[in-house]
Structure 1
Amino acid sequence: MRPLDPRLLRQARAARSYVLLTTALGTASAALVVVQAFAIAFALGPVVVATSPGGDGAVDQAAVARWLAVLAGAAVGRAAVAWAQERFGRRAATAVVADLREQVVGHAVALGPRPPAGAAPSDVATLATRGLNDLEPYLVRFLPQLLLTALVTPATVLVVLGLDWVSALIAVVTLPLVPFFMWLIGTMTAGTSERRLATVERLGSQVLDLIAGLPTLRAFGREFGPAARVRALGESSRRATMGTLRVAFLSGAVLELLTTLCVAIIAVGVGLRLVHGGMELVPAIAVLVLAPEIFLPLRRVGSEFHASTDGLAATRRAFAVLDLPVTDSSTDGERTSGAAPTATGLAGGTLVLDDVTVRAPGRDVDAPAHLTARIALGSGEPGGGRVVALRGPSGAGKSTLVLLLLGLLRPDHGSISPVLPWDQVAWVPQRPAIGPGTVRDVVTDGREVPPETLAAAAATTGLDAVLADLPGGWDAPVGLGGVGLSVGQRQRVALARALVGAADRPVVVLDEPTAHLDARGEQVVLDTVRAWREAGRTVLVVAHRASLLGLADQVVDVEAREVARA
């Protein structure tokens, strides 16, 4: 296991600056450790010699005071270095996590609504929140200690070599035992963090599914049914957390014992030679002070070993998402470039579909399969609109075709020209996204809209009848996802929002707008579609019912075909 993934330095600019700063602070810490050891030795040694049996009792108080001042300065300096490491470490960790989180979420969005395995929205949500948060202890605690080990430990050994070669030899011989046992622990616990992160992602996905389905469960009076499942998820999370804690305690205890024994061996050797006159007191004190400092960074690295594994596991998962190829990059470039069609360019234009084919995920089926069509768009003038219906059986790829037209997916074969720019399309999917707020907030998206415009949209979509039955009318509260409204009422709200918020957009896309409506609701949709057509707009509608098909100026048949396995 590599303690530092080079891709982290390439992907996150804040990480590079942080590593350089930590290196500088580590160098300063190494120098201060040596200064502190010599200050203690030169301040304490003469006092011990002068006051011991056979000593003359004369102490150079001025010299001792100077060394005590140096000792105080070194202690303050080490405290300042530790404070800077913690402060700037947390800042850098926040910046690195935010940077990676933005990249992961942005890349997940670029992958489209049908991402490859490992980049499902629920997995990305867990990774971007709980998963990447594991990088903070890794950057704040583990990485600084790792760099201190690379700087302080060799510098301290060299200083000890200049004072006492025997102690330096003992340190050189015993030091490799620490990384060996770290490797041994890492081998024994290999995959623990990956399994833990996978468990957390699975738990997050299941909890999100439960939350998403809670309105349906409440509608059928089954909201208390998943209680056992929630308890099981909590127990799984507890087991995953306890597994991580076991790794932390194991690594910390083993390395604490090992480094304590190594320091004890040096101390015993120095003490015996000091008693038999084989070593002077001042260098002996300096060696005794420096011996724990040789192993201290390694001890701290071991105690933060679990932060390393968790942080690197989160980093690998983030890079696994970032490494997934974006299949709709070319269409995205067309959509965001200056060459995208303008509203004037769309009006009266033509959408050309040439042998468009998309392989259905998880099935040996092309849906749609080899679709070729020319779709004439409305003129943009009153009375010059058009209604285009996309017809086909369930699973034929009609909703996929809508995503292709919007540039959210790229066909596996064939082409679409031009891709509809998002800022010129009003899209009402099968299940419109409705945020919490009042009915007015949902319809206007928080913008200032004249009352007469709202009234006209409500009258066209039949929302006025809904408002008459809701306590508070336009100010009636609506929950997340439209909680508090029926399916038909939500559809009317979504249609009114499309009328109000996209009045200047030449294209309206409706995905199965009458799928869950009764006859009255269906008539509202038909009237709204007619109003859009009369205004000169193009309405692309995924349709099953004869009423919508009969309203269409053009019907595009979409079909799926099985693909023979190789």
Structure 2
Amino acid sequence: MKPLDPRLLRQARAARLYVGLTSGLGVATTALLVVQSLLLAHVVAGVATDGLTFGDVRGQVAGLGIVLAVRAVIAGAQERFGHRAATTVVRQLREKLIAHAVRETGRGGADLAVLTTRGLDALDGYLTRYLPQLVLASTLTPAVLVVVWWQDWIAGVTILLTLPLIPFFMALIGMATQDASDRSLVSLQRLGTQVLDLIAGLPTLRSLGTARAQRERVRVAGDAHRRATMKTLRTAFLSALALEVLVTLSVALVAVGIGLRLVHGTLDLQTGLAVLLLAPEVYAPLRAVGMHFHASQDGLAAAQQAFDVLERPVPAPGTVEAPDLSTAVVAFEGVTVQHDGVPHPTPSHLTASVGPGEIVALTGPSGCGKSTAVNVLLGLQKSTLGDVVVAGSVRLTDVDPASWWRQIAWCPQHPVLVPGTLRENVSLLRPSVSLDQVREASAVTGFEDVVRTVPGGWDARVGQGGTGLSAGQRQRLALTRLLLSEAPLVVLDEPTAHLDAGAEQAVLDLLGALRDRGRTVVLVAHRPALIAAADRTIDVSGRVAPGLETSSPMEVPA
């Protein structure tokens, strides 16, 4: 990736403002630095050679103090706005990545999650340290070199000959560091993917007795990430030492030349001091760019991946307003989804319909594509073949997603809970609901019994992901939220997955309440009682009774 990739300016508006501000501050810093060096050389040379008193140089000393104060203010402003801009840029990139992932259904996963979180955090070093020094290197270095040449052309030639050595060695070191940074980010994503997959499958692994065996896999991935990170740090320290030695030797050459000419009387003290003060400032921005280059590489690697994701084409969102789902028939017409790395599609040629006010259960063995069919119905995943058709003619791919999702209430196997009170979580889909309505719905789902046992009742707070509630209690809360919503289509993915047999009756009561209200329900079910409560069942696996010949999944009256 380039030191300042134009895609960063296009994707994050805050980056454009920050680059403009940094450029302006860089020009101001350059001017102040030149004035400071010339004033200091004039004061010292006047006192040393001309015998001037403090009264004679009082004005220059006061001006020098003002210049130093303004430089301190500019440095503080640069640091402050740098951190603020870094936070804003990372937030804007995250929002675009998440929005892109929503439109680009069926892709992403743990790699994208790590990139959006930990990966983009590394941009902070790039924006607060590397980019300001890069701007200074493009403004301060040539401007100060011109001033040095104007003061003493011999020193200017010396600097001009030694200056290219710094970017040359920076390029050599950078080529080695880029690969190390890319490997570090890949190892972090691999570690994050394994940990997320492990957490998601932990209940299954524990039931099989293989949870402890995964520790070695996580440890190996963690060690790989540690080695990659330490290699990057080691390269950064060595390169900083190399650049420091190179700059020191270059400034020493200028100083030796000035000293010899001062001894021989071919150079006056004021000019020598001015050049000697300005010479390190010519190299300083380039040296700082080299030192901070390594700190920015992780962020640049993450930004490169983020831009690659954002540049992937996504299907244009539909513009057709979704039909009223309280009266429309929703039909799967040959829906087929081919998953990466899986030889057979699941589901395959799913053809079935759901009428308004019906309760339809999707059945079949694990892995046959029930949850995938639900994702296609929700518009969260694109089918390889076929589509969902509404009201006989409107294809889901042509429908505006916002108008579709407004009419759907969804309860996945792991319901989404936000930090807040129980009442806020229950009324998430319908904020205007009254407390009496909340209590009435919770009595149907059995969540009222949970509220009685929690200190604080409906005002009790839960943490991120429902921390403070058991899995079954979170499921009851989500079912109550569905009952309170006014969405005409309700989708449930294994609503009894985390409930015991005794609490299963609460789900059956919920289905009865939804049927009484004329709501359409599509649910993924395994338990016989839940299947029996449905009006019809759809076997997503396509199994048929002996003697029947069909290639489509079978609809069976419950």
2:406 matched residue in structure 1:
423
Give the counterpart of 1:284 among 265, 272, 278.
272
- Secondary structure, aligned partner of 1:346: coil
Moved more, 164-173 or 542-551: 542-551
| C-alpha distance in 1 between matches for 2:342 and 2:205 | 30
- Cα 1:492–1:99 change in 2 (3 A) is closer
Moved more, 526-535 or 7-16: 526-535
Residues 365 and 560 of structure 1 are in contact (CA less than 8 Å); yes or no, is this contact kept in structure 2?
A: no
Give the counterpart of 2:519 among 537, 548, 553.
537
| C-alpha distance in 2 between matches for 1:229 and 1:455 | 47
| C-alpha distance in 1 between matches for 2:173 and 2:531 | 67
- Cα 1:485–1:287 change in 2 (3 A) is closer
- Cα 1:280–1:211 change in 2 (3 A) is same
Q: Deviations over 1:127-169 (max 9, x none)?
A: 3333222212211111111111111111111111122211111
**Matched letter for residue 521 of structure 2:** V
Q: How far apart are residue 63 of structure 1 and its match?
A: 5.2
| C-alpha distance in 1 between matches for 2:406 and 2:515 | 19
**Matched letter for residue 3 of structure 2:** P
**Matched letter for residue 480 of structure 2:** A
Give the counterpart of 1:402 among 368, 374, 390.
374
- Secondary structure, aligned partner of 1:421: helix
1:88 is the counterpart of 2:81: yes
Residues 334 and 386 of structure 2 are in contact (CA less than 8 Å); yes or no, is this contact kept in structure 1?
A: yes
- Secondary structure, aligned partner of 2:50: helix
1:155 is the counterpart of 2:143: yes
TM-score normalised to the size of structure 1?
A: 0.82
- Cα 1:211–1:437 change in 2 (3 A) is farther
Residues 191 and 218 of structure 2 are in contact (CA less than 8 Å); yes or no, is this contact kept in structure 1?
A: no
- Cα 1:281–1:442 change in 2 (3 A) is closer
Moved more, 418-427 or 467-476: 467-476
Q: How far apart are residue 526 of structure 1 and its match?
A: 3.5
2:112 matched residue in structure 1:
124
- Cα 1:437–1:215 change in 2 (3 A) is farther
Give the counterpart of 2:345 among 366, 371, 385.
366
Q: How far apart are residue 3 of structure 1 and its match?
A: 1.2
Residues 161 and 168 of structure 1 are in contact (CA less than 8 Å); yes or no, is this contact kept in structure 2?
A: yes
Q: How far apart are residue 279 of structure 1 and its match?
A: 1.8
Residues 39 and 71 of structure 1 are in contact (CA less than 8 Å); yes or no, is this contact kept in structure 2?
A: yes
1:353 matched residue in structure 2:
332
**Matched letter for residue 83 of structure 2:** R
Q: How far apart are residue 438 of structure 1 and its match?
A: 7.6
Residues 159 and 250 of structure 2 are in contact (CA less than 8 Å); yes or no, is this contact kept in structure 1?
A: yes
Counting matched residue pairs gives 531
2:182 matched residue in structure 1:
194
Residues 427 and 481 of structure 2 are in contact (CA less than 8 Å); yes or no, is this contact kept in structure 1?
A: yes
- Cα 1:554–1:230 change in 2 (3 A) is closer
Q: Deviations over 1:386-441 (max 9, x none)?
A: 22233444333221111111111222222223348223223233343456788766
**Matched letter for residue 75 of structure 1:** L
- Cα 1:560–1:167 change in 2 (3 A) is farther
Residues 387 and 552 of structure 1 are in contact (CA less than 8 Å); yes or no, is this contact kept in structure 2?
A: yes
- Secondary structure, aligned partner of 2:128: helix
| C-alpha distance in 2 between matches for 1:252 and 1:50 | 42
- Secondary structure, aligned partner of 2:288: helix
Q: How far apart are residue 172 of structure 1 and its match?
A: 0.7
Q: How far apart are residue 254 of structure 1 and its match?
A: 0.6
- Secondary structure, aligned partner of 2:82: helix
Q: How far apart are residue 213 of structure 1 and its match?
A: 6.3
Q: How far apart are residue 444 of structure 1 and its match?
A: 4.8
| C-alpha distance in 1 between matches for 2:238 and 2:19 | 28
1:79 matched residue in structure 2:
72
| C-alpha distance in 2 between matches for 1:439 and 1:469 | 13
TM-score normalised to the size of structure 2?
A: 0.83
- Secondary structure, aligned partner of 2:521: strand
Q: How far apart are residue 208 of structure 1 and its match?
A: 4.2
| C-alpha distance in 2 between matches for 1:373 and 1:230 | 43
| C-alpha distance in 1 between matches for 2:88 and 2:419 | 31
**Matched letter for residue 363 of structure 1:** V
Give the gaps of 5 or more residues in structure 1: 52-58, 379-385, 562-566
- Cα 1:235–1:144 change in 2 (3 A) is same
1:388 is the counterpart of 2:345: no
Which structure 2 residues correspond to residues 37-48 of structure 1 after superposition, within 5 A? Answer: 37-48=37-48
- Secondary structure, aligned partner of 1:189: helix
- Secondary structure, aligned partner of 1:304: helix
- Cα 1:443–1:223 change in 2 (3 A) is farther
- Cα 1:428–1:29 change in 2 (3 A) is closer
Q: How far apart are residue 305 of structure 1 and its match?
A: 1.8
- State the superposition RMSD in angstroms: 3.6
Q: How far apart are residue 184 of structure 1 and its match?
A: 1.1
| C-alpha distance in 1 between matches for 2:405 and 2:333 | 21
- Cα 1:498–1:283 change in 2 (3 A) is same
- Cα 1:181–1:560 change in 2 (3 A) is farther
Moved more, 258-267 or 309-318: 309-318
Residues 445 and 506 of structure 2 are in contact (CA less than 8 Å); yes or no, is this contact kept in structure 1?
A: yes
Residues 366 and 560 of structure 1 are in contact (CA less than 8 Å); yes or no, is this contact kept in structure 2?
A: no
Moved more, 167-176 or 297-306: 297-306
- Cα 1:177–1:471 change in 2 (3 A) is closer
Residues 333 and 388 of structure 2 are in contact (CA less than 8 Å); yes or no, is this contact kept in structure 1?
A: yes
- Cα 1:481–1:156 change in 2 (3 A) is closer
Moved more, 435-444 or 250-259: 435-444
